[in-house]
Amino acid sequence: MKKAIQISTEDLVFQLDPSETLLEGLERTGHQVEYQCRSGYCGSCRVTLHSGRVEYSQQPLAYLRQGEILPCCCQPLEPLEISVGLITPVKKSA
């Protein structure tokens, strides 16, 4: 049985359940990630990977630069450190 994996972002450290994609875990914890297809085709969700390794069940069709991953369709193999921010409410000026 797979165990939860630690994910670190600029703002938060959380545990990713083995049944979740990285995108689902990021959404659950309030991170702002653009996405469209959730299948690795469009590349909208790409984020920067600083440390750790991921695997894809199928090679994504979206173009990825060195150090980028698609959270919609990857599974972490070990703890990850990635760049993605939390959704923050817009402050209204008085």
- Determine the Cα–Cα distance for residues 23 and 35; give it in Å rounded to an integer: 9
Per residue in 33-58, pLDDT (tens digit) is 989 999 999 999 999 999 999 999 88
Residue 16 domain-assigned (yes or no): yes
> Residue 61 sits in a domain of what CATH number?
3.10.20.30
State yes or no: pLDDT of 91 exceeds 80: no
Q: What single-letter DSSP state applies at residue 81?
A: E
Whether residue 91 lies inside any domain: the answer is no
76 is a domain residue? yes
Does residue 45 lie within any of the structural domains?
yes
Q: How far apart are the C-alpha atoms of 41 and 83, rounded to whole Å?
A: 21
pTM of the model: 0.84
CB of 36 closer than 8 Å to CB of 73 = no
The answer to whether residue 93 sits within a structural domain is: no
Residue span of the structural domain in which 35 resides: 5-83
Q: Is 18 part of a structural domain of the chain?
A: yes
Domain total of the chain? 1
